[in-house]
Amino acid sequence: MSPRKLVAASLLLVAGCASGPPAKLPPADPIQALQLSGKKVDFAIGETKRLIQRSRGADYLPDLYMRLAELYSERARYAWLVVYERHHQKGDDSKAVDAPEARLLKNLAIGVYDRVMKEFPKYPRDDEAMFLMAHEHRELGEFDEMRSTYEKLIETYPHSKHRFESYLVLGDAAFDKGDLPRAERYYNLILAAPESHVHPLARYKLGWVKVNKDDCKGAVAMFEKILRDKSTPHETKSLVMTQRSLNISREALVDLAYCYPDVYPEKPAPPYLRSLAVSSSDYIAAMRRVANRFFIKQMYAPAVGALRVVLSAGVNDDEAIETARKLYDNIIKGKVLDRPAADVDVIGRVYEHRAFDLRMNKDKRDKLAEEFEIYARDIATRAQVAAKESKTPALYANAAAAYTTYLQYFSKSASKNEITENRAEALLAAGQLYQAGKAFEEVDAIATSPDAKKQARLNSIAAYQQAIEKGGLSRIERLYARGGIRNMGRLVIADSPQDPNIVGIKLNIARSYYEDGEYQRSAELFYALARQYPTAPEATVSGHLALDALRLADNLEGLATVGRRMVADAKLGDANFKREISDIVTKAEQRQVTELTITGESDREEQLLSMAKRHKGSELGEQALFNALAVARTNGDIDRFYELGEAFLEQYPKSNKRSDVTSALATVASDRGDYAQAATYLTAAFNADPNGKEATERLQNAAQIRALLGDATVAGDVKKLVSRGSHVDDLMMVIAESGNLPALEDILSSSPVDGAVADFFRGYFALQRGDREDAVKKLTEAAHDRGGGEAGKDASARALFLLGEIAFDAFNAVVPGADIGKAVQDKNREIETLTQAYNGAVRSGDARWALAGIARMSEAWSKDADFLRDLNLDALSATDKQAVRQVLDQQMQKAQEESKKLRSSCAKKAKELLVFTDAAKACVTDQPFQEKVGMFTNRNSGRKGDPPGAAPIRQALLKNPRSIDSITKLAELYLGTGDTGVALLLIEHAIDIDAKKSASHNLRGIALYRAGRSDEAYAAFVRAVELDPSNARARLNLAAHLALYGYNDRAMAEVKRAGGVPMPHGDPSEHPELRVLSTLSGGK
């Protein structure tokens, strides 16, 4: 065979081995096996006999006989078993079979035992031989022989180990004969002896004796002792060598159960028996027994308890069906309906284990299903009846649970619909509302009649709604319940739109969306309900809920729209409802505006504007626009702010927010240096709320700005201020200093303003128009009125000086006439008057007017000297002429000296006090004093609009209103155009922002100089130099200013400190008279 063929053959062989079915063993024949075993014993018997023959005289010969007897006994057992099996195979299960061979063999065994005892009387196992011989007699039914043999054993061998067993067998024999006292005596003989292996059995037997003597308590005590005795064997074991094996503890437990109902009728069996049981099977066996005993004694409740335990241990054992039946019987008979669900469940489980058990035929299975379905249904239904009788929710809950369990096992039952319905009702009655809602949904699904369906749906909705209202549901349950309300509700609405419950159902559906957080949808439904049933009580509630839902959805626009629609719906709600809705809408809109305003969103301004646009003309639109304005300002979007502010003022001319808007606009206008505009807004703010807390202040600010700007409309502001009792002295001074005298005249002519300043100006204007008398009167009043603050003092000083000027005019008016003496006398009188008047100014404390007065007096004395010198004396005689000339010359000399003295004093005081007026300059420079003193010398060239280049600077200021550079640049531009008013306001603003900036003070000095306020200009230059000593420009400006007024030494000192004289560039921050320094320097 080639290797390839060999491999193939091997494979075939292997394949053949692997694939063939295993050979079936022939069915075992027990008889054959027994016969075979018997033959083996026969063989042993033959061999033993041979050994006996060969062992004559040997010591072990009695052992061989003992063995032979045992073999006969064993062989007899096989012989009996063969006969028994034959009977059994024929269907006869009785153990009372006649086996002659066995009897023969047992007799042989008895003979051998007898021989052993006779031939070997000293054989140590003689007692055993006797014991076994007695046993064989027993087996053969020779009870008398048996008894006598056992008794002989006890008598002959009182210490034999088999004596207890003998007592036991004797006791059993007496027991079997009904001789209970005799049996009890034998058992007690054992128990009286020290503890042995048969004691538990003796007790057990004694227990049964007591049972038979109706002493259950004693029997239980015996059985309990066996069970509690630790020496009791717990396994199946032969306690007597000739008897069958026995599990004594199990037997004791089970038999204890027999007496249990009598001994412990009130005590629950399960815990007691469980405590005694060694294994669960023992326990269950005992419970089974005790259940039977309870049932027999018609104690159904404990019987049910025991059967529940038995069934809970296993529903698939052979006895489970019967146990379940018993359980049902006991439940029904005892009306034990405390755990119907568990009982239905266990019955269902017993059935379930057989439902697909192919070992049972289908017919049997179907019958079982039918039977057990009835049991389960009956229990559940009875539980519901019991609940109805007691009206206890807990019992309803039990019934519902039983129905639930029933439906789990018998879902295809014909009673399913009825049970489903019962279950739903039971759940509802039990207060298990959520479950009831679900159950009624199931009823709806299976119900066939429309009425039943409708009722189930209504019940479901009601149950779900109550469950939600009651609370305690989990999140998923709540969601499910709401979904159920919606589903059931839709079906009811679709099928019965006219049902009287529909309104409530719709309300519940809408609420379910609301509670689910679907606010938009719920709002739609609430509103739909309110529209459809406007007169129903639910309508107004629904209307409110619609708005609330929209509020929660953060849909304030929608809220307003729906709210307005509801208010417009004539049928819906009463006046009160409409008022409430209107109020809600209004508040919501206001809230929306507020929320939009405070939100951090970048588009809040746009949103507010959009809202303002949509609600233009309404209060909401006004608020939205106002807030947009505020947002624009907060964002620094000033252009937008202006634009919106103007739009606001235009759209809402009567708004009570006008004053706030205009005030804010004014502030912003001021910030960007647009003072005329600021004044306009301030006036508008005042007009918008003239009685407001800040109204007067706003008007004062407007007037202040206009006064500085030389605006004629300031007169109106001042008149209003006067009418409100405000002090306007300072304002009038500013107006006058800005050169706006017509406005001042207007104010004084049509306003009841009084005080030193007003009197001064009235005198001043009277003097201007040549009304000397009125001028003197008013100026005198002003001069003597020392009140009114700084402005009042200033006015008084000015009035005193003007009175001097009037006297000076009178002095000048004296001209020489024909009467020289009178002329001189008049002149002297006038100069005396003049001196008196100017001395008033000198004493006023105001250096400017004091020096002016001194200068004027000096001039008057000088003029008086000229007058005296120039007097024509030609009309006098020569003698008189000489004498008069001499007198006049003396007077002239005195006048000249007086003039010189006064001028010297003026110059000295000017240098001392550094006064920057024309009078002081005249004194210092020894120049003639001007004929007419300009009281208000403003050089403001007036407003000419924005100077070129101002627009971009303003734009920059819009972005950064506190930019000093921008403000200063703008101020310089205004200075360039001569608009000192705006320039000064700008510079003051710059100094407000940063008071320590030298350049600002320098520029202020220039502006003040240009405004004719040289004294203040000097102070500004000094401050600029103080703040920054290295500021050469400020120092040179200071020098120029000093030089201009004749303080040359000081000026030179400053020039020296500045490092020399610069070339003038015409820069706005340069002193206009800077060139004076060149002259000064050249002069040196």
Contact positions vs other proteins (CB under 8 A): 489-490, 493-494, 497, 506, 509, 524-525, 528, 531-532, 557-558, 561, 565, 602-603, 605-607, 609-610, 613-614
Comparing CB distances to other proteins, the nearer of 496 and 925 is: 496
**Residue 578: CB minimum distance to other proteins, A:** 18
- SS3 per residue for 834-880: HHHHHHHHHCCCCHHHHHHHHHHHHHHHHHHHHHHHCCCCCCCCHHH
3-class secondary structure, 317: coil
Angle made by CA atoms 803, 805, 806, in degrees to the nearest 5: 65
Comparing CB distances to other proteins, the nearer of 346 and 510 is: 510
* 423: its two tokens: 């279950």
**Residue 510: CB minimum distance to other proteins, A:** 9
**Residue 603: CB minimum distance to other proteins, A:** 4
**Residue 493: CB minimum distance to other proteins, A:** 5
Q: What is the DSSP string of 165-204?
A: HHHHHHHHHHHHTT-HHHHHHHHHHHHHSSP-TTHHHHHH
Cα gap 180→165, rounded to integer Å: 18
Comparing CB distances to other proteins, the nearer of 566 and 757 is: 566
497: how many CB neighbours lie within 10 A of its CB?
8
**Residue 548: CB minimum distance to other proteins, A:** 18
**Residue 465: CB minimum distance to other proteins, A:** 16
How deeply is 380 buried, as exposed, middle or buried, from its count of CB atoms within 10 A (0-12, 13-18, 19+)? Answer: buried
Comparing CB distances to other proteins, the nearer of 332 and 493 is: 493
**Residue 671: CB minimum distance to other proteins, A:** 21
Q: What is the DSSP string of 242-310?
A: TS--B-HHHHHHHHHHHHHHHH-SSS-HHHHHHHH-SSHHHHHHHHHHHHHHHHHTT-HHHHHHHHHHH
Cα gap 1018→921, rounded to integer Å: 14
Cα gap 842→587, rounded to integer Å: 70
**Residue 463: CB minimum distance to other proteins, A:** 20
**Residue 606: CB minimum distance to other proteins, A:** 4
Comparing CB distances to other proteins, the nearer of 608 and 1042 is: 608
Cβ neighbours of residue 192 closer than 8 Å, sequence gap 6 or more: none
> Which of 435, 425, 438 has its CA nearest to residue 399?
425
**Residue 448: CB minimum distance to other proteins, A:** 19
Sign of CA dihedral 706, 708, 710, 712: positive
3-class secondary structure, 1023: helix
Comparing CB distances to other proteins, the nearer of 162 and 506 is: 506
**Residue 613: CB minimum distance to other proteins, A:** 8
Cα gap 1003→1028, rounded to integer Å: 14
Burial 690-704, CB ≥16 within 10 A → b, else e:
eebeebbebbbbbbb
Cα gap 553→529, rounded to integer Å: 19
Could you tell me if 626 and 657 are in contact, meaning their C-beta atoms sit under 8 angstroms apart? yes
Comparing CB distances to other proteins, the nearer of 261 and 558 is: 558
Could you tell me if 246 and 239 are in contact, meaning their C-beta atoms sit under 8 angstroms apart? yes
Q: Phi and psi dihedrals of 237, rounded to 5?
A: -155, 150
Comparing CB distances to other proteins, the nearer of 1 and 568 is: 568
* 394: its two tokens: 């807990």
Comparing CB distances to other proteins, the nearer of 61 and 528 is: 528
Cα gap 1062→731, rounded to integer Å: 39
**Residue 627: CB minimum distance to other proteins, A:** 15
Could you tell me if 572 and 530 are in contact, meaning their C-beta atoms sit under 8 angstroms apart? yes
Q: What is the DSSP string of 86-134?
A: HHHHTT---S----HHHHHHHHHHHHHHHHHHHH-TT-TTHHHHHHHHH
**Residue 312: CB minimum distance to other proteins, A:** 50
Cβ neighbours of residue 406 closer than 8 Å, sequence gap 6 or more: 344, 348, 376, 377, 380, 413, 419
Comparing CB distances to other proteins, the nearer of 532 and 893 is: 532
Comparing CB distances to other proteins, the nearer of 506 and 827 is: 506
**Residue 460: CB minimum distance to other proteins, A:** 17
> Which of 714, 734, 744 has its CA nearest to residue 980?
734
Which DSSP category does 960 fall into? -
Comparing CB distances to other proteins, the nearer of 558 and 840 is: 558
**Residue 915: CB minimum distance to other proteins, A:** 51
Comparing CB distances to other proteins, the nearer of 492 and 1044 is: 492
* 448: its two tokens: 């066939």
Comparing CB distances to other proteins, the nearer of 237 and 614 is: 614
Cα gap 691→186, rounded to integer Å: 129
How deeply is 1040 buried, as exposed, middle or buried, from its count of CB atoms within 10 A (0-12, 13-18, 19+)? Answer: buried
Comparing CB distances to other proteins, the nearer of 608 and 902 is: 608
358: how many CB neighbours lie within 10 A of its CB?
7
**Residue 560: CB minimum distance to other proteins, A:** 9
Comparing CB distances to other proteins, the nearer of 571 and 944 is: 571
Could you tell me if 526 and 499 are in contact, meaning their C-beta atoms sit under 8 angstroms apart? no
* 178: its two tokens: 């009904």
**Residue 524: CB minimum distance to other proteins, A:** 7
Comparing CB distances to other proteins, the nearer of 40 and 564 is: 564
**Residue 967: CB minimum distance to other proteins, A:** 23
Comparing CB distances to other proteins, the nearer of 490 and 784 is: 490
